[in-house]
């Protein structure tokens, strides 16, 4: 039982860290896109941190899913896919309509694609486990 509790705390730690960086990254990308604050010097580091932490969390979560017979993930990663999809749609529309005012940073596109890829892997893993 002690090991199970330790694993739950570990998973909660990585979930908290992932959610924190997801929100921070989205905030910094939006602040930079709308030219509220020039974050260009930090976006690459922020993107690398968030993608790496998301990958670590997803790996740990999937390991627990396959190791434990009673693993149940009540948290949905879909919300972050939706948030980042809405952000990229807004960024694309505004940068198309106002190309002299707005431009999409490559770091954001890379982050968005990484989120989609990691979510797809996790979703397929969940599907295979429940099959």
pLDDT tens string 15-61: 999 999 999 999 999 999 999 999 999 999 999 999 999 999 999 99
In sequence order, the 6+-apart residues with CB closer than 8 A to the CB of 29 are 39, 43, 87, 105, 107, 108, 111
Question: Which pair of tokens denotes residue 122?
Answer: 């996790």
Mean residue pLDDT across the chain: 91
- The CA–CA distances, whole Å, from 28 to 2, 68, 88, 102, 124 equal 39, 37, 14, 15, 30
Question: Mean pLDDT, to the nearest integer, of 93-102?
Answer: 98
Q: Residue 14: its pLDDT value, please?
A: 94
Of the two residues 58 and 4, the one the predictor is more confident about is 58
pTM for this entry: 0.88
């Amino acid at each position: 039982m002690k090991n199970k509790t330790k694993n739950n705390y570990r998973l909660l730690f990585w979930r908290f860290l992932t959610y924190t960086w997801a929100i921070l990254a989205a905030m910094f990308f939006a602040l930079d896109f709308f030219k509220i604050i020039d974050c260009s010097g930090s976006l690459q580091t922020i993107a690398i941190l968030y993608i790496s932490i998301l990958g670590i969390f997803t790996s740990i979560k999937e390991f627990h899913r396959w190791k434990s017979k009673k693993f149940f993930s009540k948290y949905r990663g879909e919300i972050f896919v939706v948030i980042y999809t809405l952000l990229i749609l807004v960024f694309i529309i505004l940068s198309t309509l106002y190309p002299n005012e707005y431009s999409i940073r490559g770091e954001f596109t890379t982050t968005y694609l990484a989120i989609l890829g990691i979510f797809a892997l996790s979703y397929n893993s969940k599907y295979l486990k429940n099959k």
